[in-house]
């Protein structure tokens, strides 16, 4: 803490009026020394608020390729119609293989066989 010292030259009559102490004779200059303490100051450091960056990826639409039906898969693999027909029978003749329900499967892949 810094202190400042001020010296004030006053007359004896002024000391008597201002409440000074000690004996003085009229007209004798008196030096009054008083310690002056400056007001204390506090320095505050204010930090800016923390910032954060959020990166948001744009939405992505995933479209699955349509899956192959059993008939399309057999045809794509190069299987014969006889092999596809036997596979249909072994699978329990599912209706999903015979679109027109005429008893001949895989007609859309292998053509009309009836």
- Which pLDDT tens digit goes with each residue over 13-71? 444 444 455 555 666 676 666 667 777 777 777 777 778 888 888 888 877 777 888 99
Q: Does residue 85 contact residue 110 with C-beta atoms inside 8 Å?
A: no
The residues with which 4 forms a beta bridge, in sequence order, are 36
Q: What is the pLDDT of residue 105?
A: 92
Give the residues across from 18 on adjacent strands.
Answer: none
Measured CA to CA, the distance from residue 45 to residue 89 in angstroms comes to: 84
Mean pLDDT score, 84-90: 94
Q: Residue 81 pLDDT > 70, yes or no?
A: yes
Q: Where are the alpha helices (DSSP H) in 7-90?
A: 12-18, 70-76, 81-90
pLDDT of 25:
61
């Amino acid at each position: 803490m810094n202190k400042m010292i001020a010296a004030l030259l006053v007359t004896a009559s002024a000391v008597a009026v201002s409440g000074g102490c000690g004996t003085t004779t009229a007209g004798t200059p008196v030096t009054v020394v008083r310690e002056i303490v400056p007001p204390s100051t506090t320095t505050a450091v204010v930090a800016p608020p923390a910032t954060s960056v959020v990166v948001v990826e744009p939405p992505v639409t995933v479209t699955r390729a349509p899956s192959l039906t059993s008939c399309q898969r057999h045809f794509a693999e190069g299987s014969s119609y006889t092999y596809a027909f036997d596979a249909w029978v072994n699978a329990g003749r599912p209706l999903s293989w015979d679109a027109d329900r005429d008893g001949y499967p895989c007609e859309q892949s292998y053509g009309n066989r009836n």
